[in-house]
Amino acid sequence: MRAALTYSLPLWFVLTLSCSVRYSFTGGQFGQAKTFTVAYFNPQTALATQVYAQRLTEKMRDLLLAQSPLQMVGTGGDLQFEGSVTEYRVQTATATAAETAGRNRLTIGIKVKYTNLLEPELSFERSFTRFADFDGNADLFSVEEQLWETINDQLTQDMYNASVGNW
């Protein structure tokens, strides 16, 4: 009995220490990746400005820095994001009884190419579209930056979830 205890206790100890559980609040799966690159998102539609495209690019970089252990590099990252702004439009979301716009909607669409150099089978090209509504009496230019913030939060989280978030 003592011999069994002598051998089973160290074996139990080794097995217990070799098992581990890893949990992440962001759910990111980075594999062996250590770096990322986010190229400038080019505006491909007349209404999307260079300023908007730069804000989207910076928002994605900031998200990856905040929610991942990856380091940003200028070029050649293990994980690479590039893309373009393919849709930027304003339309009526709801009408009033007087046949005027009660709410307007800014819709922004992007096309993303995600390249995982370490696990190429996880690479993809995908489009994402998000929108935000605003008061029909408001001038777009007075609320545009707030709308950008809302939409960019959603678009960058969509890119993150599709690439490293395993969604």
Q: What are phi and psi of 162, to 5 degrees?
A: -70, -30
pTM of the model: 0.79
First to last CA, the chain: 51
CA dist., res. 58 & res. 66, Å (int):
12
**Tell me: the pLDDT tens digits for 52-111?**
999 999 999 999 999 999 999 999 999 999 999 999 999 988 776 666 668 999 999 999
- The secondary structure of the chain as a DSSP string is -HHHHHHHHHHHHHHHHH------SS----TT--EEEE---EE-STT--HHHHHHHHHHHHHHHHHHSSPEE-SS--SEEEEEEEEEEEEEEEEE-TTSSEEEEEEEEEEEEEEEESSSGGG-EEEEEEEEEEEETTS-HHHHHHHHHHHHHHHHHHHHHHHHTS--
CATH T-level topology, domain 2-163 = Double Stranded RNA Binding Domain (3.30.160)
Percent of the chain with pLDDT over 90: 70
What are the structural domain ranges in the chain? 2-163
Q: At what angle do helices 50-67 and 140-163 cross, to 10 degrees?
A: 40
CB neighbour burial string for 139-158, b if at least 16 within 10 angstroms, e if fewer: eeeeebeebbebbbeebbbb
Q: How sure is the predictor about 35, in pLDDT bands with cuts at 50, 70 and 90?
A: very high
pLDDT at 31: 87
CA dist., res. 129 & res. 63, Å (int):
18
